Amino acid sequence: MKITWLGHSAFRIETAKAKILIDPFFTGNPAFAGLDAKDAAEGISHILLTHGHGDHVGDTIALAEETGAVVLANADLAAWLGKKGVAKVDMGNTGGTISFDGFTVTFTQAHHSSAQITEDGVSHSLGNANGLMLHFDDEPSVLHMGDTDIFTDMGLINELHQPDIGLVPIGDRFTMGGAVAALACQRFFDFKHAIPCHYGSFPIIDQTAEKFVKGMEGTRTRVEAPATGATLSF
């Protein structure tokens, strides 16, 4: 498995059977500057969305048209994307699991909002914010927490799914900050690897992973904080 951080909460995951983008926010993402969108989206088979905010839906509509990838989102967001012309839309909701060739995706809880004011000036309610729990055939399991604060039911997510790798929001202001994210990882999860995200993009959120890295010192979890565009192999 290869995981590439594309800035903010965007990731590319490559496995033996799939090439996946999660929350592909490229256009307008300061942290994506200098990277190539075509390279990031090369050969993708699936686009997975945690929620409906613009910095997570990002370039989904254009990428789906260009690549023919299947887009998975909560039911409200998926319906909205279908009306926007996305041809291959799959939908689910909190607690539901969707099976694809070689992997499954379960919508987990996240404490966040999901409405979006679009180019028509109207605020659209785009369902619940979620995390995404990915189980693969013969490869590590991955939890993208989405945008969230800490909550005690994270313990149930770990009990049910036992994720190996956590993609953890740490930027503060719109999600939990680094110190609280570290507490969440220690108290409720048993990750082998944790990759921080949702930081270092916009000026109003934390610019480094320092607080998270410090908070995770002495734990069995290996914290990986790659440069934007860097790829990790597991």
Give pLDDT, residue 205. Answer: 98
- Looking from the CA of 137 toward its CB, the CA atoms found within 13 Å total 8
- Structural domains of the chain, ranges and CATH numbers in brackets: 2-226 (3.60.15.10)
Q: What is the pLDDT of residue 120?
A: 78
Contacts of 183 (CB under 8 A, 6+ apart): 150, 215
Looking at residue 119, what is its pLDDT? Answer: 74
Q: What are the residues facing 125 on neighbouring strands? A: none
Check: CB of residue 90 under 8 Å from CB of residue 98: yes
- Given this model, what pLDDT does residue 129 score? 98
Tens of each residue's pLDDT in the chain, 234 residues: 999 999 999 999 999 999 999 999 999 999 999 999 999 999 999 999 999 999 999 999 999 999 999 999 999 999 999 999 999 999 999 999 999 999 999 999 999 999 888 777 888 889 999 999 999 999 999 999 999 999 999 999 999 999 999 999 999 999 999 999 999 999 999 999 999 999 999 999 999 999 999 999 999 999 999 999 999 999
Question: In the chain, what is the straight-line distance between the N-terminal and C-terminal CA atoms, in Å?
Answer: 5
Closest CA to 153 of 136, 130, 125: 130
